[in-house]
Structure 1
Amino acid sequence: MAKACLLLLLVSVLYIVGTAKSTATASPKTTNFVKSSCSATTYPAVCVKSLSTYATAIQQSPHQMALTALSVSIDKAGAAKTFVTKLGKLKGLKSREYKAIKDCVDEMGDSVDRLSQSVQELQRLGGKSKRQDFLWHMSNVQTWVSAALTDENTCLDGFAGKALNGKIKASIRQWVVNVAQVTSNALALCNRFAAKY
């Protein structure tokens, strides 16, 4: 059952990504919707950069905007997990570096799982929902996205202190900070969608 749900989620994410990338240039109206929605986020420039290519798929739908932002977060978190996993296979790592990398891989995996749960929950809101059902589903989404953001920050906490300073820490920080920014933006866009209901 879990594999079937994961497969359905993967197909949905690939559909969103494929639809957005295969469409023609977005209209000024849809592009402006993305920009205006992104202005409500903590990292508006990151938001516009990561979501403007999906403007045609998003149209002017706050629901689709939040769903696409979550899908982008899953993609970025998965890529970061893969990157950190590869770093963990380098020879000559210090014991503390190896442990921090291993913990980070676990945290990024948890982040991907929570973001995936959020997408599934948000997809359930595709049709008209009763207000009480809507609020319950959105509360789940907001909780899981917040938890994913905590996972991402916990990954970085493992590299605190001067003892781990260096290229590995800097590389991981760059990847994970970007994931945390798009996840923070996704949470803001989910909150914006919830407020419009």
Structure 2
Amino acid sequence: MELKNTIFLVILLSITILQSSSATPNRSESDQFIVSSCQTTQYPSLCVHTLSAYATKIRHNNDQDLAQTALIISLARAKSVTIFVAKLTKETPKFKRREYLAIKDCIEVLGNSVDRLAQSVKELARAGHAVASEDFMWKMSNVQTWVSAALTDETTCLDGFSERAMGGKVKRLIRYKVVHVAQVTSNALALVNQFAEKRSVKFP
């Protein structure tokens, strides 16, 4: 998926969320909802920080809006980090062989992460329109599986730079970026799980 396509997807889905609201959400209520919901995540401060910028697009007490927005953010940042890591191989040609191979592996698994998050964004949107419990749970199971796999991909990238022999600068640059994405993805997964749990009890 090209960067411009990812950006278009983010913008399109953000507009869809906004247009689906019956009225513009109250900023204060949305902020409170975000803060409260983020307490269930592993990184609540980061969760609040990343989602607050989209508060006006998240309807109060709408867990799907929250989970959808969290996934969109995770997708965009995963794509950005993939591009960043890929550029390292072109801008810094004097890597040790072990470093170069670790970076190539990282690019591959981050690409998988991007694909899975993109699938998750689309599937979560479909799940929101499900009218039967079985259909909803099937789609949410797909989302949870793909987001979990995306998180595994991101941590797998980090594993390649865990050896002491790896260059310090390279390790710090990549680790800083990928750790952030992994934390954002972890938070998105928690909000997806929260939506799945709350919505499932509403079905007869």
Fold match (TM-score > 0.5): yes
1:181 is aligned, of 180, 183, 197, to 183
Do 1:41 and 1:189's aligned partners in 2 also have CA atoms closer than 8 Å? yes
RMSD: 2.4
SS in 1 for 2:136: helix
Q: CA deviation at 1:59?
A: 1.5
Shift of 1:35: 0.7
Q: Does 2:33 align with 1:36?
A: no
Indicate the larger mover: 88-97 or 174-183: 88-97
Q: Which whole-Å CA distance do the structure 2 matches of 1:18 and 1:134 have between them?
A: 23
Counterpart of 1:69 in structure 2 is: 70
**TM-score, reference length from structure 1:** 0.90
Q: What do the CA deviations read for 1:143-195 (whole angstroms, capped 9, x no partner)?
A: 00000000000000111211004111101000000000000000000000001
Shift of 1:125: 2.0
C-alpha distance in structure 2 between counterparts of 1:149 and 1:158, whole Å? 15
Partner of 2:21: none
Structure 1 pair 188/70, CA: closer, same or farther in 2 (3 Å)?
same
Structure 1 residues 56 and 98: CA distance shift in structure 2, 3 A: same
Equivalent residue number for residue 57 of structure 2: 57
> Which structure 1 residue ranges, 5 or more long, are not aligned?
none
* Counterpart code for 2:163: G
Q: Output the amino acid matched with 1:36.
A: S
Measure, in 1, the Cα distance between the counterparts of 2:131 and 2:10.
Answer: 22
Q: 1:18 to 1:86 in 2, by over 3 A?
A: farther
| CA apart distance, 1:25 | 9.7
Aligned to 1:159, what secondary structure does the other structure show? coil
Check whether the contact 1:34–1:52 (CA below 8 A) recurs between aligned residues. Answer: yes
Q: State whether residues 7 and 76 of structure 2, in contact with CA within 8 Å, keep that contact through their aligned partners in structure 1.
A: no
Residue 103 of structure 2 corresponds to: 101
Q: Distance in 1 between matches of 2:17 and 2:45?
A: 19
Name the residue aligned to 2:202.
Answer: none
Q: Cα gap change, 1:121/1:66 in structure 2, threshold over 3 Å: closer, same or farther? A: same
Measured after TM superposition, the shift of residue 112 of structure 1 is: 0.3
Alpha-carbon distance in structure 2 between the residues aligned to 1:104 and 1:50: 24
Which whole-Å deviations, capped at 9, do the CAs of 1:104-158 have from their partners, x for residues lacking one?
A: 0111100000000101110102324211101000000000000000000000011
Q: Which runs of 5+ in 2 are unaligned?
A: 19-23, 200-204
Conservation of the 8 A alpha-carbon contact between 1:20 and 1:56: no
Identity of aligned residues (%): 51
Alignment of 1:110-129 (within 5 A): 110-129=112-131
> Is the Cα contact below 8 Å between 2:78 and 2:114 reproduced in 1?
yes
What residue in structure 1 maps to residue 82 of structure 2? 81
Q: Kindly indicate whether the alpha-carbon contact (under 8 Å) linking 2:128 and 2:136 is maintained by their aligned counterparts in 1.
A: no
Matching of residue 191 in structure 1 with residue 197 in structure 2: no
Provide the TM-score with structure 2 as the length reference. Answer: 0.87
Residues in 2 aligned to 1:75 and 1:193: alpha-carbon distance in whole angstroms? 21
